[in-house]
């Protein structure tokens, strides 16, 4: 096995420790907000539509429901705070892809890929239009994203796409002139398919837009279950009351679905993140990065990173940790080994930033599904819609999914609802202990591939063949 770029050049342990010494275990995007709070629900009430979940999916669903029919009564209930989970903890990459990238799309939906790419880009365009129309203050920058090669075999992979429309290829010299990192061997800039956003601001600005449109928002209002007869409304049982609804949209991401049949279609995987202090002008000059693209390297275990409005660097990814039983616990968010590894890889990427400090470290739960793309379910004779499984690419995809759920709840056939991607389901994960064993074997195999010029071993080839996947 060959060492990776991040193992061939390793910064001093003392530098890593010093960079993390004063960091806070807190999500930067949420920590800096002075956001509005919403009341908890108690008692009983009736609505035309109840949305369960106060992340991007729930917020887009509630907002677009009112945009489609302003007279419809809509309530949104969140167990904690608006945007506190995955929607407020991600890297802020608002990507057009609905298929988790071109390769995954070709493998899983080859006949629909062109259509899905068109719909995904249309969805991103519409998000940009909504940001402007609703004056959503979310630091939206349509910078595109760079895929960078840090190993020789990855250069060949990027070169295969150098002539694709909408992509700009950089050789080693051009890439290092674009962003100065000694790890870079080549790069591919997808110019239009990604925007950078502040996810915490976007979540709370969407909540404001929902409230302005007439949505009733309730925080600290945990949904416990659904009750219904064969006909008539659905009751959403809450810890402090009940909501009776003609239709229900479930937007609970990695948390267990209130439709139990879908609970093993996702597993919660922890992703770890660091945020630096703001870079000085001299530090910015040392790295370039004038066009402020989002960046990700192209290994199986990959990093993603970007600049914030005040020129901090968010640096995350690589480790993907699943805990036995699919548990989601606050104590899992502080994993020193993962944060130290990220700090080490950061200084390998940008050695000229020696001495910079990380102000925040955190983790977020990704709703990983076997095909890496969102899936759609329903229940109670079409009165309940469900979507999950975004696998780390839900910032833009949740808006598309919200439209799908609203289409399904209306009973109408649309271009979206006729897609095979919408009609089909990923393979569910097996019960424990097999789920944990499968994830651990997959992580081992991905790590082996990254140390063997990207070559996929029998484990990964078998998973590819049966339609199962696991992503870092």
End-to-end CA separation in angstroms for the chain: 20
Name the residue with tokens 């990380």.
358
- The answer to whether residues 281 and 258 belong to one domain is no
Task: Show pLDDT as tens, one digit a residue, over the chain (472 residues).
Answer: 789 999 999 999 999 999 999 999 999 999 989 888 999 999 999 999 999 999 999 999 999 999 999 999 999 999 999 999 999 999 999 999 999 998 899 989 999 999 999 999 999 999 999 999 999 999 999 999 999 999 999 999 999 988 888 999 999 999 999 999 999 999 999 999 999 999 999 999 999 999 999 999 999 999 999 999 888 899 999 999 999 999 999 999 999 999 999 999 999 999 999 999 999 999 999 999 999 999 999 998 999 999 999 999 999 999 899 999 999 999 999 999 999 999 999 999 999 999 999 999 999 999 999 999 999 999 999 999 999 999 999 999 999 999 999 999 999 999 999 999 999 999 999 999 988 898 888 888 888 888 988 888 877 777 766 666 555 4
Rounded Cα distance between 149 and 187, Å, is 6
- The answer to whether residues 419 and 457 belong to one domain is no
Domain-located, residue 140: no
- The answer to whether residues 62 and 118 belong to one domain is yes
Sign of the torsion formed by the C-alpha atoms of 283, 288, 292 and 293: negative
Please report, for the chain, how many H helices and E strands are present, in that order: 16, 19
Q: What is the model's pLDDT at position 468?
A: 63
Rounded Cα distance between 416 and 412, Å, is 10
Helix (H, G, I), strand (E, B) or coil at 97: coil
Domain-located, residue 33: no
Question: In total, how many domains does the chain have?
Answer: 3
- The answer to whether residues 208 and 113 belong to one domain is yes
Q: Are 51 and 62 in contact (CB under 8 A)?
A: yes
Domain-located, residue 209: yes
CATH number of the domain that residue 15 is part of: 3.30.9.10
CATH number of the domain that residue 49 is part of: 3.50.50.60
> Residue 106 corresponds to which tokens in the numbers above?
């070709």
Q: What is the model's pLDDT at position 36?
A: 83
- The answer to whether residues 176 and 217 belong to one domain is no
Q: Are 471 and 391 in contact (CB under 8 A)?
A: yes
Q: Are 320 and 303 in contact (CB under 8 A)?
A: no
For the chain, what is the radius of gyration of the CA atoms? 22
- Residue 303 DSSP one-character state: E
For 420-441, the pLDDT digits (tens) are: 999 999 999 999 998 889 888 8
Name the residue with tokens 């909501």.
243
- The answer to whether residues 212 and 337 belong to one domain is no
- The answer to whether residues 121 and 59 belong to one domain is yes
Domain-located, residue 343: yes
Domain-located, residue 134: no
- The answer to whether residues 208 and 120 belong to one domain is yes
- The answer to whether residues 357 and 383 belong to one domain is no
Cα dist from 379 to 18, 193, 263, 384, whole Å: 52, 34, 13, 5
Whether omega for the bond prior to residue 185 falls within 30 degrees of 0, making it cis, is: no
Rounded Cα distance between 56 and 85, Å, is 10
Q: What is the model's pLDDT at position 439?
A: 86
For 80-109, the pLDDT digits (tens) are: 999 999 999 999 999 999 999 988 999 899
Assign 3-class secondary structure to 320-344: EEECHHHCCCHHHHCCHHHHHHHHH
User: Domain range spanning residue 349?
Assistant: 5-27+145-191+268-366
Q: How many CB atoms lie within 10 A of CB 71?
A: 7
Domain-located, residue 416: yes
């Amino acid at each position: 096995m060959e060492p990776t770029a991040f193992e061939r050049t390793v910064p001093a342990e003392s530098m890593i420790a010093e960079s993390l010494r004063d960091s806070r275990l807190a999500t930067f995007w949420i920590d800096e907000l002075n956001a509005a709070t919403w009341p908890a629900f108690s008692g009983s009430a009736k609505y035309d539509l109840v949305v369960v979940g106060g992340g991007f999916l729930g917020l887009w669903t509630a907002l677009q429901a009112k945009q489609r029919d302003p007279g419809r009564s809509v309530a949104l209930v969140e167990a904690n705070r608006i945007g506190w989970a995955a929607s407020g903890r991600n890297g802020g990459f608002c990507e057009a892809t609905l298929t988790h990238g071109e390769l995954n799309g070709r493998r899983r939906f080859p006949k629909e890929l062109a259509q899905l790419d068109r719909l995904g880009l249309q969805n991103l365009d519409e998000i940009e239009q909504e940001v402007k129309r609703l004056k959503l203050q979310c630091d939206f920058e349509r910078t595109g994203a760079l895929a960078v090669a840090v190993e020789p075999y990855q250069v060949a992979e990027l070169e295969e796409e150098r002539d694709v429309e909408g992509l700009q290829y950089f050789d080693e010299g051009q890439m290092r002139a674009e962003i100065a990192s000694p790890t870079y061997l080549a790069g591919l800039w997808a110019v239009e398919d990604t925007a950078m956003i502040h996810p915490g601001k976007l979540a709370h600005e969407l909540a404001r837009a929902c409230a302005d449109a007439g949505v009733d928002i309730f925080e600290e209002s945990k949904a416990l279950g659904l009750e219904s007869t064969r006909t008539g409304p659905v009751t959403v049982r809450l810890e402090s009351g009940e909501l009776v609804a003609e239709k229900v949209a479930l937007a609970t991401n990695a948390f267990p679905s209130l439709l139990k049949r879908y609970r093993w279609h996702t597993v919660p995987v922890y992703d770890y993140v660091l945020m630096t202090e703001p870079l000085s002008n001299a530090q910015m000059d040392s790295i370039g990065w004038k066009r402020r693209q989002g960046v990700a390297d192209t290994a199986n275990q990959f990093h993603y990173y970007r600049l914030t409005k005040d020129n901090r660097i968010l640096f995350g990814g690589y480790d993907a940790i699943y805990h036995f039983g699919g548990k989601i616990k606050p104590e899992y968010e502080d994993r020193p080994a993962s944060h130290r590894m990220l700090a080490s890889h950061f200084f390998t990427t940008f050695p000229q930033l020696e001495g910079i400090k990380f102000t925040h470290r955190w983790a977020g739960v990704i709703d990983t599904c076997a095909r890496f793309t969102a899936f759609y379910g329903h229940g109670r004779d079409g009165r309940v819609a469900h979507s999950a499984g975004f696998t780390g690419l839900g910032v833009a995809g949740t808006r598309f999914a919200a439209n799908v759920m609203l289409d399904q709840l209306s009973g109408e056939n649309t271009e979206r609802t006729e897609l095979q991607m919408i009609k089909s389901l990923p393979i569910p994960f097996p019960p424990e202990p097999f789920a944990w064993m499968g994830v651990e074997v997959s992580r081992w195999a991905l790590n082996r591939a990254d140390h063997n010029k990207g070559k996929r071993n029998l484990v990964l080839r078998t998973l590819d063949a049966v339609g199962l996947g696991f992503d870092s």
